[in-house]
Amino acid sequence: MALNIERFQPEGMNIRMSGGKPSYSHVVTVSGSGKIVYTAGQLARDADGNCVGKGDMRAQMEQTFQNLDRCLKAAGATWAHVVKTNTFVTDFDEFQKCADIRMRYLGVATPTSTTVGVTRLAGPDFMIEIEAVAVVNS
């Protein structure tokens, strides 16, 4: 049986829009056979472990999504397979200014999404951490 991913917005729910498209889905259902891919929370670390874009949410978000992209590809997944993200930010106002970066990656999937403001991440210079769950046909 092929994997079926259905994304929808229940009636009566507010739908946050970005660039004329929903920023996320309120509900995603998965049925059929496939594999689930979980990524660890990704930070704005380069290949040497250094923080990219200290004090710059846009640069950090771009690096974080590049890291997630590498993780997904390594597991045989694409952004279209992503069904859930959890995002942790130290500055929600700055995060909201970067919706275009998020939509460039997640707009193809509109996964369910949770964003939480935190006081600190794994190091004092990190401003954003994102983890993702994807589902891929087996």
Which residue ranges make up each domain of the chain? 4-8+16-137
CB 88 within 8 A of CB 124: no
Question: Which alpha helices (DSSP H) does the chain contain, by range?
Answer: 57-74, 92-96, 99-106
CA dist 62 to 33, 42, 80, 110, Å?
Answer: 32, 11, 18, 18
Question: Given this model, what pLDDT does residue 80 score?
Answer: 94
* pLDDT tens per residue, range 70-80: 999 999 999 99
φ and ψ at residue 62, rounded to 5 degrees: -60, -45
Question: Given this model, what pLDDT does residue 1 score?
Answer: 67
pLDDT < 50 positions in the chain: none
Question: Given this model, what pLDDT does residue 59 score?
Answer: 98
CB 111 within 8 A of CB 59: no
| 4-8+16-137: CATH number | 3.30.1330.40
What's this model's pTM, rounded to 2 decimal places? 0.87
Helix pair angle (99-106, 57-74), 10° resolution: 10
